[in-house]
């Protein structure tokens, strides 16, 4: 298990330009981590002043530590409207606008997560019990999609490692597998005859990747609870990997000795590897990965930038893959 070390950052909080609504809600933020531990649950927050987006989804302000952390990108933040309306969430359809259009059908309360496999404390836990002991932090991360577009998003969550330690992984725990909600009655994409994914959607990490301090479980973004289309109520965020690794709406976390099967790797193994680290030197079979479109963009303002190895987090995570051929283990 890797020890937590200081992580160098290029972040200047003064350069972050949050969406106006997000700024207005800063009044709800407390600087005490202990206060956050007690008050952060979405289901305990007062509804007065909650935001309702144009998909009809209610979002509550989150209470989290506002102290400066070494996990903040200094790049211009993607506007909230773009981050919540341009998504891949095939459970609701393959068009980028489908998740926002249809995700309101997904019931997120009550919610539970199965913890299983190589742990000493397996069981099914209510969401409240999963997140209650953890103080929330804000992490402003780059998000790079395998389709060569990207965003910069302020997530609110806590390190995955802190959660896993609570359930005491055994010495056989070499990988962590995740599954998304499988509920065709509420997720129209799971009912489609034209789908290529064998539901439920599954992803996985090596244990040292899961325990890395950059890896978080997010419960919010832009200071508010996650919208359904962005993976409410609980999603993974692994900023140095392509976005499809950051699985949404998690219902199962399974620790295992064997490398788990993952959805896109099963669907197209020549296109999507298990590791899926952002790598500008390894192209997708159908397009280059050397550059990306930073959203928002337009025909007259393509906003195309160079893609960085490990999405700009090489200094923090490259040592995890020392000696590995990253063109083979892509």
pLDDT of residue 140: 95
| Higher-confidence position of 72 and 115 | 115
Query: What is the band of 8 on the pLDDT scale with cuts at 50, 70, 90?
Result: very low
1 within a domain of the structure (yes/no): no
Domain that holds residue 161: 13-318
pLDDT band per the 50, 70, 90 thresholds, residue 327: very high
**Tokens read off for 277:** 């680290």
Average pLDDT over residues 153-168: 98
d(CA 125, CA 70): 31
Task: Name every residue whose Cβ is closer than 8 Å to that of residue 24 and which is 6 or more positions away in sequence.
Answer: none
Per the rule left: phi > 0, alpha: psi between -120 and 50, beta: everything else, 123 is: left
Q: Measure the CA–CA gap between 99 and 103, rounded to whole angstroms.
A: 5
Higher confidence at residue 37 or residue 127?
127
How far is the C-alpha of 106 from the C-alpha of 42, rounded, in Å? 16
pLDDT over 60 at 66, yes or no:
yes
Residue 230, domain member (yes or no): yes
Asked if residue 152 lies in contact with residue 140, where contact means CB atoms within 8 angstroms, the answer is: yes
pLDDT at position 138 is 95
Q: What is the DSSP letter of 61?
A: B
Burial of 121 (0-12, 13-18, 19+ CB in 10 A): exposed
Cis peptide before 274 (omega within 30 of 0): no
Average pLDDT, rounded, for the chain: 87
The CATH number of the domain holding residue 86 is 3.90.420.10
List, for residues 106-125, the tens digit of each pLDDT value: 999 999 999 999 999 999 99
Q: What's the rounded Cα separation, in Å, for the pair 234 and 44?
A: 16
Domain count, the chain: 1
Task: For residue 6, tell me if it sits in a domain.
Answer: no
Q: Could you tell me if residue 197 is inside a domain?
A: yes
110: preceding bond cis by omega (within 30 degrees):
yes
Which ranges in the chain belong to alpha helices (H)?
20-24, 33-39, 80-83, 98-102, 127-131, 160-166, 207-210, 263-267, 314-317
Report, as an integer, the average pLDDT of 166-194.
97
In the predicted structure, residue 220 carries a pLDDT above the cut 90:
yes
Domain membership of residue 324 (yes or no) is no
Angle at 155 between CA 90 and CA 207, to 5 degrees: 75
Over residues 10-54, the pLDDT tens digits come to 444 444 444 444 434 443 333 333 333 333 344 333 222 455 555
The answer as to whether 7 is a domain residue is: no
Q: What is the pLDDT of residue 313?
A: 96
In a domain, 201, yes or no: yes
Give the model's pLDDT for residue 4.
38
On the question of pLDDT at 57 being above 90, the answer is no
Does any domain span residue 4? no
């Amino acid at each position: 298990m890797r020890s937590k070390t200081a992580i160098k950052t290029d972040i200047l909080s003064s350069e972050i330009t949050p969406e106006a609504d997000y700024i207005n809600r800063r009044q709800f933020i407390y600087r005490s981590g202990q206060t956050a531990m007690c008050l952060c649950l979405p289901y305990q927050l007062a509804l007065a002043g909650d935001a309702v987006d144009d998909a009809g989804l209610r979002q509550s302000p989150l209470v989290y530590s506002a102290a400066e952390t070494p996990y903040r990108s200094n790049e211009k933040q993607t506007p909230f409207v773009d981050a919540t309306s341009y998504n891949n969430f095939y459970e609701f359809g393959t068009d980028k606008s489908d998740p926002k259009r249809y995700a309101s059908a997904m019931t997120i309360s009550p919610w539970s997560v199965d913890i299983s496999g190589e742990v000493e404390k397996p069981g099914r836990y209510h969401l409240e019990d999963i997140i209650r002991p953890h103080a929330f932090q804000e992490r402003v991360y780059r998000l790079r999609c395998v389709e060569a577009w990207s965003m910069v998003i302020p997530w609110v969550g806590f390190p995955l490692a802190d959660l896993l330690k609570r359930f005491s992984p055994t010495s056989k725990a070499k990988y962590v597998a995740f599954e998304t909600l499988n509920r065709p009655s509420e997720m129209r994409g799971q009912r489609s005859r034209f789908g290529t994914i064998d539901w439920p959607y599954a992803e996985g990490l090596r244990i040292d990747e899961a325990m890395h301090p950059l890896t978080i479980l997010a419960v919010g973004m832009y200071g508010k609870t996650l919208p359904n289309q962005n993976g409410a109520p609980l999603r993974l965020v692994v900023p140095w990997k392509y976005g499809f690794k950051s699985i949404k709406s998690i219902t199962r976390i399974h620790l295992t000795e064997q490398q788990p099967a993952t959805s896109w790797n099963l669907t197209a193994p020549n296109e999507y590897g298990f590791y899926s680290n952002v790598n500008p030197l390894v192209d997708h079979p159908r397009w280059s990965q050397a550059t990306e479109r930073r959203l928002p963009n337009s025909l007259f303002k393509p906003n195309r930038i160079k893609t960085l190895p490990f999405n700009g987090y090489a200094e923090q995570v490259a040592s995890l893959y020392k000696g590995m051929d990253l063109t083979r283990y892509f």
